[in-house]
Amino acid sequence: MRLQTQAADLYGERNDASVLVAPAPSGHYVLETQVGLDLPAQDCCRDPVQAGIVIYNGDDSYVKLVHVALENTRQIELGIEVPTGSAPRYGNAVLGAPAKRTWLRLAVRRGAGADGADLVTGYSSQDGRAWVRGASFSHAGAGAPRIGLVAMGGAGFPARFDYVRVYRMTP
């Protein structure tokens, strides 16, 4: 699947990005994709151009794992946004460097986080075999979560998702 990045975002009060979503499975699961984000090697992207996967409860309630370009940096970001009134509203962690084709994986353990929230852990790989484990966030989104794809932060860059897979995990 090919998506063009859009001059839109889900960050803070700016909630104009499109998100391609499907219902999340019940129980523990892993969401995985392989993504390529076609960006110039340098002198690009004053805004955070990004493409990847998301556990989505709404524009102000999500966990995303994306290949992101911000100016001359290229990195894998695990980000979380929680509804207004919670502090902090947005948090993130960097997993490592992306490759031309980057594998992204979110492991979701339902009810295993703080106060019974879902525990979401990010992983990335440059070859699909050796995985780097990143941070984990407790995500207590209201309602039924959805899984999805995002391509946002700046217009006109092609993002190619070679596959999207969902695996069930045993407790």
How high is the pLDDT of residue 143? 77
Question: Residue 96 pairs with which residues in a beta bridge?
Answer: 76
Domains present along the chain, CATH in parentheses: 2-168 (2.60.120.200)
Q: Give the confidence band of 158 by pLDDT, cuts at 50, 70, 90.
A: very high
The model's confidence at residue 86, banded by pLDDT at 50, 70 and 90, is low
Say whether pLDDT at 152 is over 70: yes
At residue 42, the pLDDT reads: 66
**Closest-CA residue to 14 (of 154, 168, 130):** 154
The pLDDT, as a whole number, for residue 43 is 67
Helix extents (H) in the chain: none
pLDDT value, residue 88: 67
Q: In this structure, are residues 119 and 113 in contact, taking their beta carbons and an 8 Å threshold? A: yes
What is the reported pLDDT for 141? 77
Tens-place pLDDT, residues 15-37: 999 999 999 999 999 999 999 99
pLDDT at residue 87, rounded to an integer: 64
0.85 surpassed by pTM: yes
- 124 token code pair: 């990335």
